[in-house]
Structure 1
């Protein structure tokens, strides 16, 4: 909002951030500019009724902005290898699974679809890539289906997005993989500018990333948008961005 600073938010203290991954920089602004020092991040799915992990009001700023908290009482979570299903050690990236009273019985009249996400041990496979830290706090690093494979290197778009939120010209950003003849896939940055009159070019963007991101994670392309395609629940439709700009790449 252009008139955001005119609102009196001094009475705010807490709230919940959930529904879609929130960038660290945005969370820090919520704490600082909206006076929500006790804001909590929740993670879950509709299928898990819906919350599996949550930050606590007593957590420090780093944990309340950079993680989705710890597992809630009477619920289990684990991180597994997406291919083998083997449970991974803390600090390793894999698929987040959750189990407990909150997990749905299944999709209505869709047993085949149910068995795709709930295994024989009643673990719900979320499709989200996560890391469980040594302190038990969970970080979501991306979606399995959003992962970009560039020349054999796995790239998680959220890592690039988190970094690009720090660019002074960028208001919002989504990174998707698009086809590339040499590498198979490369990252493309779709950006909404803070000020449309203050342009941003690919060379400036790449210069901002040089020395800060691994070379293969630096966006190969840039698209400036006025808005992102959204679902009815307010989530960005990354698949639409991939299809739109992937088709452009295939046309050359």
Structure 2
């Protein structure tokens, strides 16, 4: 898989120390893009991703920020732009379930953590990236939403699903707002993906039930998500594609 126009482009991938984000960062590096790898508490893992990109002949920097904080979102984007002199592509991937609880048992702190990590980070990083992209005459934003945004999520993950619903709606609305500046805004909605620490937030019986509901009868891999991000970021491949969400879920939910 080769997207020639991605070579030399500058990319910030948030939440790229592990999982889908790490696979996406490595894939952009393999395309010849210059990649800002972001981590917060997993900086050692982020360094490993950047090292892999460099070992393959690419260019990468590692940046740290807690994206639950809007000020940190802005700083991260500015640091990424400063590192390479421009910012062509923003991948809003940072996010997670955090913890599963019935709504009646959700503390204020957990509510804030889930919403800030999944929704606030997408708003904050996108807002910070727009002036740079407008000044350059265009760019691409690709966010990670989830099938949970459409089906309400698995057991005890209402807030996660709702925060991803924000990402999906934000994607469509922002796409309309910035199209005139040559900025395309899209999202990828992974289904049940086998990634590190999944057992920490998804009980085995719930995972097995999800697999039974998936026509392909298996979980996806992080590598199987990568192509959608590259396609949406590529101007040559997706120049007339904006406001769209690509589902990568093995058929669990179909448009």
**TM-score of the pair, normalised by structure 2:** 0.29
Higher relative contact order (CA 8 A, sep 6+): 2
**TM-score of the pair, normalised by structure 1:** 0.29
Structure number with the higher helix fraction is 2
Structure number with the higher strand fraction is 1
